[in-house]
Amino acid sequence: MKRIKSIQTILAASAVALTMGASAQAADMAGKTIEWTIPFSETGGSAKWANFFAPLLSEALPGNPTVVVKFMPGAGSTKGANWFQEQKNGDGTVMFGSSGSTQFPYLLGDPRVRYEYNDWNPVMASGTGGVAYLSAEAGKKFDGSANNLKDTTFIYGNQGATRLDLVPALAWKMLGMKVEHVMGIKGRGDGRKMFESGEATIDYQTSSGYLKGSAEMVASGKAVAMMTWGSLDANGAIVRDPTFPDIPTFKEVCEKTDGCETSGEAWDAWKAFFTAGFPSQKIAFLPAGTSQDVIDTFVAAFEKIKARPDFAEISKKRLGKYPMFTGAAAKTALGTATTVPDSAKAYVVDWLKTDFGVQLKK
C-alpha cells in the first residue's frame, strides 16, 4: 500500500514539472501528417481514446497538422508494438498508442515481445476503468455476489492470456465462476460484438468502450452490469470508479461471494496487475530518436488540451472521469504501468500455466 501511495504522490508532484519541458522554439508541424498507430482493431477502447484526442491534438499543435489514427491489430497488440520499436522517424509524424494489453506481455516476459518501453518517449498518459457485464439471463441471478452464478458456464471473447484480459479472467477465477475463453480476438470491441450476437455471455470493456457501446445494452436490459475494477484512492485502497459510482467494485462483489478473499496471494496479484493496467493504462509515445524540441512541442500541445475549459466535460462523456498526465508525470505513469512486484508476477505466471497452458519465465 505504501508503494501505491508513493506512486500517486509522485504523479501529483510530477505535474509541477510540466513547465520546465517547453523549448524556447516549438517545432513547426504545419503541412505534416501525423500517423498515430493503435495496435488493436478500430472497435475497441484504445481506438476511441485516440480518435477522441486526434482532432484536439491537431488543433493544439503548432501549424495544425493532420492527425490520422491507424490500426495495426495482431498478436494481442505485440505486432504493432514490435513495429513501433523499429521506427526511427523522429520528426513527430509517427506516434504510437499503448494500452494495458501491450504493457502486460512486456511485464510477463511474453516471448513475442521485441519492444522496450524505456526506448520510447511518453508524451501523454491517461487512466481508465473497466466494467464487466452479464447476459440478461445470467443477470437475473446476480445479487451483488457471484454465489448464484457458479453453476453457469459463461463464454468470453479473450484477446490473449497475457493481455489486459487477465484482470477480468483472474477476477472471475477468484469468484469461483466457470468461464470458457475463446482466445485470439483482435480487440475488446470484437469481444463486445461476440456478446451482442450471443456468441459470448459475459464481457468486459474499458470505460471508453463501455460508454460508447455497452452502456446502451445495459440501459435497454440486454445486459446487466456486474462490477467495475474500481479506482485507487490517495492511500492505494480500492474505491468505486468515479465514472460508474453506482456499480459495485470487484472488491465489493468478492467480499460478498463465498470463498473469495480480498487478501492473500491471489488478491495481491490481481491488485498489482490492476494497478499496472488501469490507473495509467493508455500512453501516447513518440519513437526513439525523436528530437527534444519535437517532444517538448507534443507535451505542450497535450498540456494545452488538458487546460481547455471544456476538456473535463467532453472527456467525461467520451472517456470517463480519469486523470491525464503529460511530460514528467507521463514518464512516472509509464513506470507505474510497467512495474509489478516479483511475487505478483510469479503468481500470475503459475496461474497462466495452470489455467491457460501458457509457459512463461518467472
Beta bridge partners of 180: 155
Statement to judge: residues 76 and 104 lie in one domain: yes
Whether 358 is covered by a domain: the verdict is: no
- Domain identity same for 58 and 107: yes
Q: Are residues 41 and 89 in the same domain?
A: yes
Q: Which domain holds residue 70?
A: 2-128+279-342
**Does one domain contain both 185 and 171?**
yes
Count up the domains in the chain and report the number: 2
Residue 158 lies in a domain: yes
Tell me: do 312 and 334 sit in the same domain.
yes
Nearest to 45 by CA among 121, 113, 89, 97: 97
pLDDT tens per residue, the chain (362 residues)? 434 444 444 444 444 444 334 445 789 999 999 999 999 989 888 999 999 999 999 999 999 999 999 999 988 899 999 999 999 988 999 999 999 989 999 999 999 999 999 999 999 999 999 999 999 999 999 999 999 999 999 999 999 999 999 999 999 999 999 999 999 888 899 999 999 999 999 999 999 999 988 999 999 999 999 999 999 998 899 999 999 999 999 999 999 999 999 999 999 999 999 999 999 889 999 999 999 999 999 999 999 999 999 999 999 999 999 999 999 999 999 999 999 999 999 999 999 999 999 999 76
Name residue 68's beta-bridge partners. Answer: 35
Q: In angstroms, rounded to a whole number, what is the distance separating the alpha carbons of residues 19 and 284?
A: 19
- 314 within some domain: yes
Q: Domain holding 56: CATH number? A: 3.40.190.150
Q: Say whether both 47 and 152 belong to one domain.
A: no
Could you tell me the pTM of the whole model? 0.86
Grid cell for residue 361 = 519465465
Domain finish residue from 246, 276, 306: 276
Residue 157 counted as domain residue: yes
Answer for the pair 64, 32: CB distance below 8 angstroms, yes or no.
no
Give a yes or no: residue 349 inside a domain: no
Mark whether 100 and 159 lie in a shared domain. no
Crossing angle of helices 265-277 and 100-108, in 10° steps, is: 130
Q: Where are the beta strands (DSSP E) in 229-326?
A: 231-232, 238-239, 282-286, 324-326
Grid cell listed for 284? 501516447
Facing residues of 143 across strands? none
| Residues 239 and 200 occupy one common structural domain | yes
Which helix (H) or strand (E) segment holds residue 10: the answer is: helix 2-14
